[in-house]
Amino acid sequence: MKYTLIKGSFHVVGFSPDGDSMMFRARNAAHWEALGGDNKDLFDTKLQAGEGAVQLRLQGIDALETHYSPESPPTPADVKGKETALQTKPSPGGYHQPPAIAQAATAKFMELLGVGKAEWRSWGKNTWIDKACFIRDGQEVWVKDKLQDVIPGYIVTSEVEKNGRPIAWVFPGDTDTPDGTDLSKAQLAERLKQSVNYQLLKEGLVYPYFFMTLAGRLRDILISGTKLAQTSARRKQAYLAKNPQKAATTVMHNLWFHDQTSAGVQITDLQQLTDSLPIYPYLFRKAAKAWYRQQLQQYWDAIRAGKPYTFDNKNTRFAVNKLLEDGNPYLFVVSDQDFVKLSEVLELNGEQLTLRSSPMDWVFLS
């Protein structure tokens, strides 16, 4: 596999960056031609719609969700077209995980790129950066116009994912390597610790998220960053155990300091996952899907029975044993060198979720 280095600029004003995605505009759009695959047509459409800017999906990491909406499953044939005013259809909504850590990941991402300050705005469920501040020649400069906040940097990419986003390694600043250069796996590995991807993992602000297309040599570097974050979290936990009076004033955004799923956590309510309990984002998305399907099932049952149904988005009761209802995919466990079902690395016991191995040991097939 070849890895193409593309120079350009990152952009935040008018957009909603998070801990694992960012807008990018290539200095020379011709370099995008190096990307191929089944999703290239969708990428080309988005590139044109974005006036040359496209959203990136960072390779090898997964940030806590800030605005996740599950897809609606197909309406059953026996209720299709039979909806009445008696029933209100559940909304897929926009679900988030505990916001403090998610916001810290976004802030660190922008800081690494050179964004000094950012002011966010909200309208309904949408949030975006209204203006951002940069240091130029020792002076603060505020930018308010979309695509005018030219933040220099470069990416290394080789593929486009299903939503038309290049899967990228992100690097701030410039490099002596010529624009459009194809890097070998070894050349990419040499600079990987300079990437935003690695830095966010090392800080414990994002989770590792690996697919089969990620080379083992590169994956191992990301695992090393994850282990540094875990070590830092354990040291802080040990310190606070000896100095409990410090706990009230300690602000810790390291995910591994808060994530207790390896020991087991009780989950009875989706609100736990949105407000206070960080879990692996892949599992959070499955939980949000399962809860939404649960609401839809009640809605469909009401249609079948001809009874009233009012969707109550505050009724967030959730059965954790429904987590795998939308699928139980195979994944590769690195330490075992074996393919297993997702259910084999999770334990769902009553209301308790326990991870039998760490997500950094999992490689998803697709």
3-state secondary structure of 296: helix
Residue 126, pLDDT > 90, answer no
The predicted-structure confidence for 324-350, as pLDDT tens digits, reads as follows 988 999 999 999 999 999 999 999 998
The percentage of the chain sitting over the pLDDT mark of 70, rounded to a whole number, equals 100
Per-residue pLDDT for 211 more than 80? yes
Question: What's the pLDDT score for residue 2?
Answer: 86
The CA-atom distances, in angstroms, between 348 and each of 208, 282, 315 are 22, 16, 22
Residue 1 is predicted with a pLDDT of 80
pLDDT beyond 80 at 125: no
pLDDT at 223 over 90: yes
Angle at 38 between CA 37 and CA 41, to 5 degrees: 95
CB 297, CB 329: distance < 8 Å: no
Q: Can you tell me whether residue 266 is helix, strand or coil?
A: strand
Residue 348: DSSP 8-state: E
DSSP state letters, 16-57: --BTTEEEEEESSGGGGGG--STTHHHHHHHHHHTTTEEEEE
Token digits of residue 180: 């459009």
Residue 250 has pLDDT above 90, yes or no: no
Residue 182 DSSP SS3: strand
Reported as a pLDDT band with limits 50, 70 and 90, residue 315 is: confident
pLDDT at 260: 95
DSSP structure class, residue 265: E
Q: Which helix (H) or strand (E) holds 10?
A: strand 3-11
Q: How confident is the model at residue 49 (pLDDT cuts 50, 70, 90)?
A: very high
The two structure tokens encoding residue 4 = 């193409």
Nearest to 159 by CA among 318, 316, 2, 339: 2
**pLDDT tens by residue, 251-279:** 889 999 999 999 999 999 999 999 999 99
Mean pLDDT across 278-305: 95
Q: Where are the alpha helices (DSSP H) in the chain?
A: 40-49, 99-113, 185-191, 196-202, 216-242, 255-258, 270-275, 281-305
- Say what the pLDDT of residue 247 is: 83
Q: Cα separation of 101 and 106, whole Å?
A: 9
Which domains, ranges and CATH numbers included, belong to the chain?
3-364 (2.40.50.90)
Q: What are the backbone angles phi and psi of residue 146, rounded to the nearest 5°?
A: -60, 135
Distances (CA, A) of 26 to 47, 131, 149, 330, 366: 10, 22, 14, 36, 27
How far is Cα 76 from Cα 297, in angstroms, rounded to an integer?
10
Over residues 47-52, the mean pLDDT reads 95
Asked if residue 110 lies in contact with residue 12, where contact means CB atoms within 8 angstroms, the answer is yes
The three-state secondary structure class of 224 is helix
- What pLDDT score was predicted for residue 37? 80
Instruction: Share the mean pLDDT of the chain.
Output: 94
Confidence of residue 179 (pLDDT cuts 50, 70, 90): very high
Please state, in angstroms and rounded to a whole number, the distance separating the CA atoms of residues 224 and 145. Answer: 39
Chain center to CA of 78: 36
